[in-house]
Amino acid sequence: MSSRIPWRARAGTAALAVLAGIGALTVPGSPAAASPPQTDRQTVSYHGYRIQVPADWQVVDLTENPRACLRFDRPAVYVGEPAEQNDCPAHVVGRTAGIVVEPVNARSAGHTSAATTRTPRGRATAPTAVSSDDTIQIAVEDAGVLVTAAHTPETESLVRGVLGSAELTADARRTELPRPRQQSGAIPLAAAGPQPGSYLGKGFDACTAPSQAAMNAWQANSPYSAVGVYISGSFRGCAQPNLTASWVTAQTGNGWRLIPIDVGRQAPCTGYSLKMSADPATAKSQGVSAAAAAVTAASNLGIPAGSAIYSDIEAYTSTASCKAAVLSYLSGWTERLHSSNYLSGFYSSAASGIRDAADEYGNSAYTRVDHIFYAWWNGAADTDTGTYVPSTYWAGHQRIHQYAGEVTESYGGYSINIDRDYLDVGTGTPPAPTCSGANLSFTAYPTVKSGSSGDQVKAAQCLLKAAGYDPGAPDGVFGSSTTTAAKNFQASKGLTADGVVGPKTWTALLSRGSTPILQSGSTGEAVTRLQRALTAALGRTVAIDGVFGSGTGQAVRDYQSSRGLSADGVVGSGTWGALQSGK
């Protein structure tokens, strides 16, 4: 599918003055142009915050057109406060660049995160602002604005240049970004169980999460009880001003089921600007990275483990190499989601991506996704897949059918452009990743790297695969795939990503798993993992027998003391955390 809806947002009169290159006075709360204009740049001011943007960018005044869709599939600047309900087409995929400048208030503060950067007093720029999920967010408190800038890897430098041009004007009035309230004993915001959970019936998906009022009206009047929401992915086309943890809590508490969707890299045989690699090994590692970011986004929104997250890969003309890349990407996606106990889902056209996945349903070279979410606009509200997928595949409540697309419906006075879905889904949880078929217990864990071979290499490969970073079949030969898997695992733990499995990486790999409190007298698998990890961390042999005896107790105290922990010989969250971080 692709967006076929024409640009709906129109610029306000002041913004039109910018585009026309006509000088205009700066009015507080409205976009305006500086005089004289530059030929390749236009000046946009709002609330005492002024930036220089390319002359061909659309400028949309949300004061005049509050329902404009905040979409990033074409370059644009949006200034003002977006309405809770927006006129967005159901399916916008793709991103170029876009900037939203909105006033700081309680609502805008609700979609900030730990990655949001505050500018220093007297400054409108934050050169060190980080990009999270290809989005940079800056609170310019001296102007009382929150700036959200979407980009792709190719347009990040352009967007940073625009943000770097920012200045404060005489209209600037300071408003501090509200800090989240810390209430003792407060219940964390979270979905009411795994999503979408067990459900049979109709749902819909929309480009941007609808407002609370719209959700309430549709709940009371529409035939739908499930809603697709785009929670992550650097190729999402629409902004998500309503999508917060409190929104998730409210909807699921009211009985809505959520379909969490990630829009990331697309098939290499398409014309999209953000594509996965045609090399299967690289594509797989990109799937791992996408899943890790999706898990973080889900967690931040309160969407718990046990939920399914669906990777949106749009229609493509399949070839053997393109198919291999897509299924490799999905293998990495699935394995990484499983490592965090999420289910993996795959959205695509029934005629391309879904058919490719079905063709390789039993191929052990790929890790099969748990759910399919297929676009086949035949108007039938069911989960029949016709000739695209055999009826015995994904037959255990593992299907969502998008049966109609880009239709506008209205209930309770609220109109939304949607895709119609029919769900038959269940709550089966993925199997816990384990490492079988290799000996993991050694008297020492020597450093292994590219070119190494032997049982320790096979153990490292098995552990990497169980952690969701698949190096291929554990064959005891440390090749390029093992190096890539090791680098990705190291990066996820904040370790030096050199692809060399040394003491720190061994420690993090061997200790991975559940973290029960262990002390003298404890027995079982967790004690075995502890003993292996201590052998690697301390560089000396600790008996690996699954029994927490005096030798293990001494090793624990030695480890705790050397890492600045309380040396009490009890393995709690602090000690497990240090081990699993590779310390």
User: What is the dihedral sign for C-alpha 410, 414, 419, 424?
Assistant: negative
pLDDT band at 31 (very low <50, low <70, confident <90, very high): very low
CB under 8 Å to 552, separation ≥6 — which residues?
527, 530, 531, 534, 542, 543
Helices (H) and strands (E) in the chain, counts: 14, 17
CB under 8 Å to 197, separation ≥6 — which residues?
257, 425, 427
pLDDT band at 151 (very low <50, low <70, confident <90, very high): very high
498: pLDDT strictly greater than 50: yes
Distance of CA 461 to the CA centre of its chain: 26
Cα–Cα distance between 90 and 383 in angstroms, integer? 21
pLDDT tens-digit readout, 437-463? 689 999 999 999 999 999 999 999 989
CA distances in angstroms from 325 to 266, 284, 415, 572, listed in the order given: 10, 8, 39, 42
The residue count of the chain comes to 583
Percent of the chain with pLDDT over 70: 90
Please name the amino acid found at residue 76: A
pLDDT, position 179: 72
CB 378 within 8 A of CB 177: no
CB 196 within 8 A of CB 425: yes
pLDDT band at 188 (very low <50, low <70, confident <90, very high): low
pLDDT, position 111: 78
Q: State mean pLDDT over 502-509.
A: 95
> How many other C-beta atoms are found inside a 10 Å radius of the C-beta of residue 547?
16
Q: What's the distance, Cα to Cα, between the start and end of the chain in Å?
A: 47
Q: State mean pLDDT over 209-227.
A: 95
23: pLDDT strictly greater than 80: no
Strand 167-168 to 49-54 pairing:
antiparallel
Range with the lowest mean pLDDT among 198-207, 340-349, 570-579? 570-579
pLDDT tens-digit readout, 276-305? 999 999 999 999 999 999 999 999 899 998
Cα–Cα distance between 490 and 487 in angstroms, integer? 5
Cα–Cα distance between 289 and 285 in angstroms, integer? 6
Question: Which residues pair with residue 499 across a beta bridge?
Answer: none
Cα–Cα distance between 356 and 353 in angstroms, integer? 5
Coil/strand/helix, residue 175: coil
The whole-model pTM stands at 0.67
- CB burial of 478-490 (b: ≥16 within 10 Å; e: otherwise) equals bbebbbbbbbbbb
578: pLDDT strictly greater than 60: yes
pLDDT, position 374: 98
CB 556 within 8 A of CB 571: yes
Q: State mean pLDDT over 132-141.
A: 91
**Token pair 């070279």: residue:** 365
Six-digit token string for 64? 């005049």
Q: State mean pLDDT over 400-410.
A: 95
pLDDT, position 569: 94
Coil/strand/helix, residue 579: helix
157: pLDDT strictly greater than 50: yes
pLDDT, position 15: 33
Distance of CA 321 to the CA centre of its chain: 26
178: pLDDT strictly greater than 60: yes
Name the nearest CA neighbour of 532 among 466, 432, 452, 444.
444
CA distances in angstroms from 227 to 135, 199, 307, 378, 434, listed in the order given: 24, 12, 14, 20, 34
26: pLDDT strictly greater than 60: no
CB under 8 Å to 169, separation ≥6 — which residues?
26, 45, 48, 49, 50
Coil/strand/helix, residue 345: strand
Cα–Cα distance between 248 and 194 in angstroms, integer? 12
CB under 8 Å to 483, separation ≥6 — which residues?
449, 450, 499
Cα–Cα distance between 397 and 406 in angstroms, integer? 26
pLDDT tens-digit readout, 407-429? 999 999 999 999 999 999 987 64
32: pLDDT strictly greater than 60: no
pLDDT, position 1: 39
215: pLDDT strictly greater than 80: yes
pLDDT, position 562: 96
Six-digit token string for 115? 């990655």
Coil/strand/helix, residue 80: coil
Name the nearest CA neighbour of 213 among 247, 173, 182.
247
User: What is the dihedral sign for C-alpha 51, 57, 59, 65?
Assistant: negative
Please name the amino acid found at residue 339: S
Percentages helix, strand, coil for the chain (3-state, rounded to 5) are: 25, 20, 50
Six-digit token string for 501? 């499995």
Cα–Cα distance between 455 and 446 in angstroms, integer? 11
| Mean pLDDT for all residues in the chain | 87
Using CB atoms within 10 Å of the CB of residue 297, give its burial: 0 to 12 exposed, 13 to 18 middle, 19+ buried. buried
Question: Which residues pair with residue 52 across a beta bridge?
Answer: 43
